[in-house]
Amino acid sequence: MAILIEQTRLLTLSTIDVLVIAIYFVMVIGIGLYLKKFTQTGDDFFLAGREMSAWIAGLSFVAANLGSLELMGWAAAAYQYGILATHWYWIGAIPAMLFLGIVMMPFYYISKTHSVPGYLKLRFGEPSRALSAVSFALMTVFMSGINMYSMALVMKVILGWDINFSIWVSSLTVAAYVVLGGLLSAIFNEVLQFVLIWLGAILISIIGLIETGGWEGMVQRIHTNFPGGDYTHLWSTLGTFTDNPMGIHWTGIVLGLGWVISFGYWTTDFLVVQRVLSAKDLRSARLAPIIGAGFKMCVPFIVIVPGLLALAVLPTKLTGEAEALATGGHSFNEVLPLMLARYCGPGLLGLGITALIAGFMSGMAGNVSAFATVWTYDIYRALIKRDGTDDHYVSMGRWCTILGVLVSIGTAYLVMQFASIMDYVQALFSFFIAPLFGTVILGMLWKRATPAGGFWGLLTGTLASIAMWAAVKADPGVLKYIAVSPHAKDMAENMYRALWSWLICVFVTVILSYMTKAQPESELNGLVYGCTVLPKEDWVPTYKRPMFWAIVIAVILVILNILVW
Amino acid sequence: MSHRKGMIPIWFFIGILLLAYGVLILGAGIFDYMNPAAHPVVLSELHAGIWWGILLLALGGWYTLKFKPTKE
């Protein structure tokens, strides 16, 4: 096996590169050790003391999502599908982030909830919280394990590192700094990791564009290398399922991705929402996702552009994983390491690899800190021990951070033995996002929604999503009914399954709410639009207001879409 | 930018890290310039290591000075 690894690895690190990586590990552990003394209470450990500035909360909000698989995966998708992959960063993220900041954040923030399941408890009662908390906690640690395994696999392929070494060193480092400093430490490190990801990855795009003679030169080369394929238009090929490499229609992108999946993830997934809840005041909490949106809009420059550049400059064509294994070639997933190897010499290569490791750690720290909060507050305190002291819950938070990491490691080894588990767990995670968004958005914006409607809507939407997934697994022909086209491909399935499960959740919630007794408005104060008097903000100049920046970001988003229409 | 009295801001840690990286990458870039590799990377004539190292040094130096801990 060692010989195989030596033969197949893509990159060789110099001493300087190893030193760059080692310094990074020392720094993140050092930050955790330093912050331990500032992490004494439950609010410190689980919500970083609710004292973060808008910038720190906003950067952490984006970094928690910017895992290494996100970097590697979407660079690969850009090679495979072209610029269409940008939809996951623009329409598939920005409107939802702006909506979170402008519309939803006030309710999350002033309800003083610790988590999204905690909000459901306040709005719809204990059953809704229990359902969402248990599903979220389980899926978070499982997903963390899958990401850990995938990252270790990447390190094995590109650097020849032993898979056990990668798993244990990186996950124990994350465990150490999160146990020491809780969310505070996770957030501090995420900001550091965000800076490193940019400084390590942006060089590929800069040097690549110099090599191709700029954007126009890159597009020209792609057309020459792949005649007949359209890899450089964002919307103009989405009129039919057959005109684009993704096999998707614009309705799937706008309604499935841009509405349900994106809004579900960015506004209700506690992994990211937790970062914003740490903000020091309501204005910071509203600004944080908007600042995050500004940075998110730029991420395609370090993720999508390298994939497009690879289409333009790599001498060999990349293929799917199976074909690459059979032919000894390179797969789509190796785009980013291949481009790193193409442009980065000693030192810069170490910085690029550090960016990938930083991405992995920020994603994993996001998972385990969110797991620790939901387990401690929404499962342990709600269902097991209601009368513990604050110290007891902080201690529980530290222990379940370790437990979360160990379960993640266990999942990583399970996936190593049974690769198909990865597909199942990833699918499981997607089951909850769309219906949860339906439940939360109705809960916040519609005062007539009742606890019974909320709970049964969430449960029915989730079960419907599972049923559709199982039906396509059993008979792939069913996809044409779910995606409403015989030409739909795999990517379209997720979009339309999410859309249907959201609609079913909303439908059931509305019907059951009308069949059950409405809650008095006095119980909905601070939770629902129309029943809540939002606190008046102090007067600030226009350029410091969340709405002003949301409009600026929205206008830039529209312009960018038109530029590559 | 630190969120609590007495706490060193994250930007200071970032500054220190970038300074260290700047030194290492600039050093490697200069070494590479004086001893060109047998199999250089594409566009090695741009000496990306040198100017990226300088950029990291400048950024790191600025953050370190701007956010250095002070006695309150």
Which residue(s) pair with A331 in the sheet? A319
**What residues does each domain of chain A span?**
2-415
User: Testing the interface with B: which of A60, A187, A195 to mutate, by most B Cβ within 10 A?
Assistant: A195
**What residues does each domain of chain B span?**
10-66
Decide: residue A353, CB within 10 A, 0-12 exposed, 13-18 middle, 19+ buried: buried
What does each C-alpha distance from A520 to A29, A106, A113 come to in angstroms? 50, 21, 21
Q: Which residue of B has its CA nearest to A350?
A: B25
Here the tokens at position A462 are: 């989730």
Half-sphere exposure (Cβ direction) of A243: Cα atoms closer than 13 Å: 11
* Nearest partner of A262 among A557, A58, A499, judged by Cα: A499
Tell me the backbone φ, ψ of residue B47, rounded to 5 degrees.
50, 55
pLDDT given at position A423: 63
pLDDT given at position B1: 45
pLDDT given at position A4: 37
* CA distance linking residue A272 with residue A296, whole number of Å: 13
Residue type, A68: S
pLDDT given at position B71: 67
Decide: residue A517, CB within 10 A, 0-12 exposed, 13-18 middle, 19+ buried: exposed
Q: Which residue of B has its CA nearest to A21?
A: B21
**Quick one: DSSP state of residue A384?**
I
Which chain B residues contact residue A38 at CB under 8 A? 4, 7
pLDDT given at position A487: 76
pLDDT given at position A425: 62
CB contact at 8 A, A452 and A512: yes
Which chain B residues contact residue A195 at CB under 8 A? 14, 18
Which chain B residues contact residue A51 at CB under 8 A? 3-4
* CA distance linking residue A438 with residue A445, whole number of Å: 11
For A77-92, what is each residue's pLDDT tens digit?
899 889 999 999 999 9
Here the tokens at position A339 are: 């481009």
Domain A2-415, CATH class in plain words: mainly alpha
Q: Give Cβ neighbours of residue A538 (< 8 Å, ≥ 6 apart).
A: none
Contact call for B28 and A196, based on CB within 8 A: no
* CA distance linking residue A35 with residue A365, whole number of Å: 15
Q: Where does A226-260 have alpha helices with state H? A: 250-251
* CA distance linking residue A234 with residue A432, whole number of Å: 29
CB contact at 8 A, B4 and A51: yes
Out of A20, A34, A344, name the one closest to residue B24 (CB): A20
SS3 A279: strand
pLDDT given at position A123: 95
* CA distance linking residue A455 with residue A457, whole number of Å: 5
Burial B33-45 (b: 16+ CB within 10 A, else e): eeeeeeeebbebe
* Nearest partner of B25 among A17, A26, A205, A203, judged by Cα: A17
Q: Which residue of A has its CA nearest to B49?
A: A348
Here the tokens at position A327 are: 């032919």
Tell me the backbone φ, ψ of residue A279, rounded to 5 degrees.
-65, 155
> Could you say which residues of chain A have pLDDT below 70?
1-9, 68-69, 419-430, 490-491
Contact call for A346 and B49, based on CB within 8 A: yes
The secondary element (H helix, E strand) that includes residue A433 is: helix A420-445
pLDDT given at position A530: 87
* CA distance linking residue A260 with residue A263, whole number of Å: 5
| CA of A14 vs chain B CAs: smallest distance (Å) | 10
- Report CA A227 to chain centroid distance, whole Å: 34
Out of A24, A52, A199, name the one closest to residue B56 (CB): A199
